[in-house]
Chain A
Amino acid sequence: MKSLHEIKESFSIAYGAVKANKVRGMLTTLGIIIGIVAVVTTMTAANGLGNRFKESISVIGSDVLYVSRTPWVFSGNFFQFRNRNQLTLRDGEKLERQLHEAKAVNTRTFSNQNLKYRSTVLENVTIIGTTENHVLVSAGAPQYGRFIIDNDVQYKKQVCVIGWEIKDRLFKDVDPINKKIKIGRYHFRVVGVMEKLGSAGFFGGPNFDRQVMVPISTLMKCFGGRNRNFDIVVKAPSTEALYDFEYSVIGEMRKIRKLAPTEENDFSINKMDTLMAAYNNVMGVVILIGLVITSISLFVGGIGVMNIMFVSVTERTREIGIRKAIGAKKRSILIQFLFESSSICLIGGLIGLIMAYGVTQIINAFLLPASISPGIVIIAIVISVMVGVVSGIIPAYRASKLNPIEALRYE
């Protein structure tokens, strides 16, 4: 009860002190504002990068596993994967037959070829040999035309479905459906255009819009079927079941590959989480460094507050003497000045947050899908109050220790 009155008193003193020195308070607050804007913007930009990455790999699908010869991301020795046998088309067929709980299975293979339409050439485009199951396992669907159907695969038809960017580059405003393009030395008829899928090119990953899909049988016919590596895409019954599903896939694959219980897997299971984890690993460090650097500006702001608090204590030495003479305890004086410094910082933090919101909107409009989350707001407020307490503690302690007689005599 007693301390409640003191806190109320401290609050009104702090308010009065800030109000009485508006310009000084504003300048001091500016340091904190800049610091908070820097820290918050770093955090939102980091969030934005994370969102952009997630968006760009969302086409991979969160409930899909990719069985491949090598992992997508690996640290350490490549040679441990080099001697693995390639995954074959038969492996894919067997897995499709044996893995009953899978929603869909699709076997794919890749080739890089140049594209040509009239005089326009696109070099080194990823050609995916796939089946009609492709649309069942992956998120994308054709925007115009159709996808590859079983008939195309069965009769090795030279048809293709092109990615958004390919359509844009080769055809501009022309309707590409039923136009012939050259993939390598072969003519293919465009039957569909995929919707925009996004690109992880920003992070050095694949660009899903710069791909061409053809029937897997046609790809093997045109660009060679021997010594070719495949990967098998399997869709889990649900995202929640992914963990258990992964074990079933590993079990079936070991049977297919005829591995003895003592042998290690000679294939890898990849999924979206693998990429997310790799991203978090790398970006975690980058973001941490960013935060450390931006925190320096907050630290400088804190020093500014500490400086002003020393001035404020000196200026009000006599007032401290009066308060002590009429019965203020050390604690009351300490709370009074801590309140003052943390209010300055809290105000700075709130203004900083508002400005950071503006900066985030700009980032959002031009660069990244960044946003300020409630977590960031809470962190920013807590940090700014903490800066206030930390930078106020020494001046406040000094004030609380003042001798009342000397303080009263101070001119």
Chain B
Amino acid sequence: MQLEIKEITKNYKMGTEIVAALRGISVNLLKNEYLAIMGPSGSGKSTLMNIIGCLDTHSAGSYLLEGADVSKMNDDQLAEIRNQKIGFVFQTFNLIPRADVFHNVELPMVYSGISSSMRKKLAEEAIEKVGLTDRMKHKPSELSGGQRQRVAIARALVNNPSIILADEPTGNLDSSTGAEIMSVLDQLHQAGNTIILVTHENDIAAHANRVIKLKDGLVETDELNHKHFAA
């Protein structure tokens, strides 16, 4: 079991009022699953994604990531989990503007303390997987949107994480570039990676083989994607 979430809740304090963003969500995820989380804005999908990505902690319930209980960890331990087990792909790419492609990809390994010769080898491999070997020394500002997102994917891959967490990965891209990025993710899934996709677009969610729909902080539906099995 890659990920085990049981009856998770999350409350925010907004002034004096307490707002419940998640009201008891349970999700289990197996290795090499390809899950899409959908839902309208305000449904709690960002909150859930932040909790799964260990950027945020839940209020109640339990969350085991590869058997490790995340709820008991402090900030630095969570940082280590993010570094080792989670690969983020953001809607806005979130690359470091002053650093070149190579350095952006190499960065997670700097924080995990891998030697520079090893970093070079692994970063070059990851960059090759997303097809940007010839852009290694370019700054993000010198790349197109699709290329930037590829860099972000390479960065997400490089520490060989348990889960790749993609938050609206095509949200800032035109549809043909978006399709390109989705095919990269599909390939990663076929290569054995576990992927969680957060999106509100049905076409994008269709790439996944399981779709969870959230509504008002609860799971509305959790079903397998029939298209995949029909094919």
A355 within 8 A of B: no
Across the interface, B110 reaches (CB within 8 A) one of A5, A20, A330, A405, namely A5
A327 to B83, Cβ gap below 8 A? yes
Query: Interface centre among A321, A327, A328, A404, by most B CB within 10 Å?
Result: A327
Residue of B nearest to A408 (CB): B94
B217 within 8 A of A: no
B108 to A5, Cβ gap below 8 A? no
Q: In the complex where A318-B94, A405-B56, A408-B90 touch, is A326 in contact with B111 (Cβ < 8 A)?
A: yes
What residues of B have a CB within 8 angstroms of the CB of A5 in the complex? 110, 113-116
Main secondary structure of the interface of A (DSSP, over half): helix
A330 to B75, Cβ gap below 8 A? yes
What residues of B have a CB within 8 angstroms of the CB of A328 in the complex? 79, 111
Query: Interface centre among B53, B98, B111, by most A CB within 10 Å?
Result: B111
Query: Interface centre among A6, A322, A326, by most B CB within 10 Å?
Result: A326
Report B109-134 residues with CB < 8 Å from chain A CB: 110-116
What 0/1 pattern do residues 300 to 344 of A give for CB contact below 8 A with B? 000000000000000000110111111111111000000000000
What residues of B have a CB within 8 angstroms of the CB of A319 in the complex? 96-97
A1 within 8 A of B: yes
Q: In the complex where A1-B113, A20-B98 touch, is A325 in contact with B82 (Cβ < 8 A)?
A: yes
Interface size (B, Cβ < 8 Å)?
30
A404→B82 CA distance, assembly (Å): 11
Q: In the complex where A319-B96, A322-B94, A405-B50 touch, is A327 in contact with B55 (Cβ < 8 A)?
A: no
Q: What range describes how many residues of A lie at the interface?
A: 20 to 34
What's the least CB distance linking A103 to chain B, in Å? 68
B55 to A405, Cβ gap below 8 A? yes
A402→B79 CA distance, assembly (Å): 13
A323 to B107, Cβ gap below 8 A? yes
A325→B108 CA distance, assembly (Å): 9
A360→B155 CA distance, assembly (Å): 53
What residues of B have a CB within 8 angstroms of the CB of A318 in the complex? 94
What residues of B have a CB within 8 angstroms of the CB of A408 in the complex? 55, 90, 94
What's the least CB distance linking B138 to chain A, in Å? 16
A325→B107 CA distance, assembly (Å): 11
Residue of B nearest to A411 (CB): B92
What 0/1 pattern do residues 64 to 107 of B give for CB contact below 8 A with A? 00000000000110011011100010100011111100000001
Report B28-84 residues with CB < 8 Å from chain A CB: 50, 53, 55-56, 75-76, 79-80, 82-84
A358 within 8 A of B: no
A101 within 8 A of B: no
A329→B110 CA distance, assembly (Å): 12
Q: In the complex where A20-B98, A408-B90 touch, is A2 in contact with B113 (Cβ < 8 A)?
A: yes
B111 to A332, Cβ gap below 8 A? yes
What's the least CB distance linking B90 to chain A, in Å? 7
Across the interface, A326 reaches (CB within 8 A) one of B56, B88, B98, namely B88
What's the least CB distance linking A250 to chain B, in Å? 69
What residues of B have a CB within 8 angstroms of the CB of A20 in the complex? 98
A273 within 8 A of B: no
B96 to A329, Cβ gap below 8 A? no
Residue of B nearest to A2 (CB): B113
A326 to B113, Cβ gap below 8 A? no
B55 to A326, Cβ gap below 8 A? no
Residue of B nearest to A4 (CB): B113
Report A375-407 residues with CB < 8 Å from chain B CB: 404-405
List 10 A–B pairs whose Cβ atoms lie within 8 Å, in order of A's numbering: A5-B113, A20-B98, A322-B94, A325-B88, A326-B88, A326-B107, A326-B155, A327-B108, A327-B112, A329-B76
Q: Chain B residues in contact with chain A, CB under 8 A?
A: 50, 53, 55-56, 75-76, 79-80, 82-84, 88, 90, 94-99, 107-108, 110-116, 155, 159
| Additional pairs, 9, CB under 8 Å, beyond known A324-B79, A328-B111, A331-B76 | A2-B113, A5-B115, A9-B110, A326-B107, A326-B155, A327-B80, A327-B84, A327-B112, A408-B94
Which 9 A/B pairs are nearest by Cβ-Cβ distance?
Answer: A327-B83, A2-B113, A327-B111, A326-B108, A329-B76, A329-B79, A322-B94, A9-B110, A327-B82
